[in-house]
Structure 1
Amino acid sequence: MVTAKVRAVDGADQPFQAMTIERRDLDTQDVLIEIKFAGICHSDIHTARGEWGPVNYPLVPGHEIAGIVTAVGSEVTKYKIGDRVGVGCMVDSCRECANCKKGEEQYCHKGNVPTYAGVDKYGQPTQGGYASHIVVTEDFVLGIPDNISLEHAAPLLCAGITTYSPLRTWNAGPGKKVAVVGLGGLGHMAVKIAHAMGSEVTVLSQSLSKKDDGLKFGADHYYATSNPETFQNLAGTFDLIINTVSAKIDIDAYISLLALDGTIVNVGAPAEPLSLNVFSLISQRRSFAGSMIGGIRETQEMLDFCAEHNIVPEIEIISADQIDEAYERVLASDVRYRFVIDTSTL
């Protein structure tokens, strides 16, 4: 086994502590990765603080992982020692159900194995990327293109694919009007990707404080949702709305902004339920949908797309000692736009 240095929490209200854990011995198709950088996702915070249900502590969060292959199992064919690789939000699935066979492992009927806070096929709890090393089966490892640095690649493994997948699924592209709700870690990636796909992009944010950034990232328009006139003036405008915020919002108000046959897709996951008036949908044959990351094939496609279009997240690199502070800053929307842990500081 490999002993990994980690940062873990031992309870919902506990600070991060330096610990060590044992990673499993390499199976024949496993890859050992020395983690170089790990992004901080809002999901990490929800999970670490027990907001999405019971958690088996201690917990090592982190599903935005970038590093270097340092060992491979005897049957590994996809990667070799020295390769630049990433790991996202899942590390396995049943591989047998209809969704897995379609390359949609994130929707595995038996439940995919999350990178942390899950249980693997060996019956062991999974621990994530706030760590020096991780062992993952090769089929759930991604190749990082040469022109994307490891620190910038890490957030693409969640924030990138979480926004790329619905944009691709609902056919964002030339002639489509796409709105992005929120300009945070997810939102700024949605803007960059939708722009690269050729869509006309609008940011809908509480205020205009990030307007300059939004326009720099590729938005064509930027509106403050705190202004009631925004909802009046933009009624019936958008083909697609990507809602990236992890907080309760007035869904009916945003549905009113959709054109005929338009769709609003939730990728943010608030802890509390959302409600809507079904007449908001019926009146213009609108749809309210959800989307959760992407399959391994689509995630690799996203990485290659970002490499081709020179898309990278805006990041702030922090040390392991700053994780608790970073969590509070994420909750206060005080990050532009993704924290990335330099795991050499573990």
Structure 2
Amino acid sequence: MRCTDHPIVPGHEIVGVAEEVGMNINGIKVGDRLGVGTYVNSGRDCEFCEERLKIHCSKGAVFTFNGVDVDGSITKGGYFTFIVVHHRYCYRILENYPLESAAPLLCAGITVYRPMIHHKMSQLGKSLEVIGLGGLGHMAVKFGKAFGLNITVFSTSINKKEEAFSLLGADKFVVSSDKEEIKALAKSLDFIIGTASGNHLFDPYIEVLKMGGVLVLVGYPGELKLESFHLLRGMKTATSSASGGTKMTQ
């Protein structure tokens, strides 16, 4: 992570309408509803760019704000009246889809959706634990319910309980400091998505996974503290994911 350059114009998960379109651009016209996610450029010539996984570009993806573009300029984000973006990094938004609903899909949504698909979490009746109920966490719960999963939310705040149940339809809520309740869930869940930041122990979470269960980190918890025995004993997997490619985002 690089330091912030000032002055800075932040903002990603951008939605709006195309006001001007460059010459020889196919597939986008003035008036189209478009979105911009976490990156606005990349090297365009590596295997990841070819596979439309530009976020993993070998030369480094150029982030939407405070990124260093190929010409050395610092990118400015979405808190502008206008933003200029290469057409390869724009996403078409359907006419009948609310712009305000599309915006969170461009970062938070794709960040949790990609590992859910990659690790086959879209299996009806499976169980998913979501650690944290912020921007990423609430999207993980919504996708999980849409897939027909049984959702358990872990949060440090009891104040998130009402939101988890009433707004998002979670099946169970656990305060992460409640050791007894966590112990009662031992070997009962298929998947975990860790969306929370800040240093915390992962061993208690690994213990709630079934044999062959998968823990995916999409937040930034700092130093990862994990007893390898808990993975080896149950053939469990701890992995990570960062956003998603242009094809899947679209």
TM-score range, shorter chain: over 0.9
Aligned to 1:247: 198
- Of 163, 186, 191, which aligns to 1:235? 186
Q: How many angstroms does 1:79 deviate by?
A: 1.0
Matched residues in 2 for 1:137 and 1:164: separation? 24
Q: Secondary structure at the match of 1:121?
A: coil
Amino acid at match of 1:80: K
Matched residues in 2 for 1:188 and 1:264: separation? 17
Q: Secondary structure at the match of 2:219?
A: coil
Q: How many angstroms does 1:103 deviate by?
A: 2.0
RMSD of aligned Cα (Å): 1.5
Q: How many angstroms does 1:218 deviate by?
A: 2.7
1:87 equivalent in alignment to 2:32: no
Amino acid at match of 2:215: I
1:112 equivalent in alignment to 2:61: yes
Gaps of 5+ in 2: none
Q: TM-score, normalised by structure 2?
A: 0.94
Q: Secondary structure at the match of 1:209?
A: helix
Superposed CA offset, 1:90-126 (max 9, x none): 1122222122222211111111111112122222111
Contact 1:99–1:107 (Cα < 8 Å) also in 2: yes
Structure 1's consecutive aligned runs of 4 or more residues displaced over 4 angstroms after TM superposition are: none
1:194 equivalent in alignment to 2:154: no
Contact 1:177–1:199 (Cα < 8 Å) also in 2: yes
Q: How many angstroms does 1:181 deviate by?
A: 0.7
Amino acid at match of 1:117: N
Higher strand share: 1
Matched residues in 2 for 1:143 and 1:61: separation? 22
Gaps of 5+ in 1: 1-51, 301-346
Matched residues in 1 for 2:235 and 2:108: separation? 29
- Of 115, 119, 133, which aligns to 1:170? 119
Q: How many angstroms does 1:167 deviate by?
A: 1.1
Aligned to 1:310: none
Matched residues in 2 for 1:82 and 1:251: separation? 48
Aligned to 1:275: 225
Q: How many angstroms does 1:209 deviate by?
A: 2.3
Q: TM-score, normalised by structure 1?
A: 0.69
Contact 1:63–1:128 (Cα < 8 Å) also in 2: yes
Aligned to 1:323: none
- Of 189, 213, 238, which aligns to 1:262? 213
Q: Secondary structure at the match of 2:83?
A: strand
Contact 2:200–2:225 (Cα < 8 Å) also in 1: no
Q: Secondary structure at the match of 1:264?
A: strand
- Of 17, 27, 38, which aligns to 1:68? 17
Superposed CA offset, 1:5-31 (max 9, x none): xxxxxxxxxxxxxxxxxxxxxxxxxxx
How many residue pairs get matched? 248
Amino acid at match of 2:85: V
Amino acid at match of 1:147: N
Matched residues in 1 for 2:136 and 2:61: separation? 22
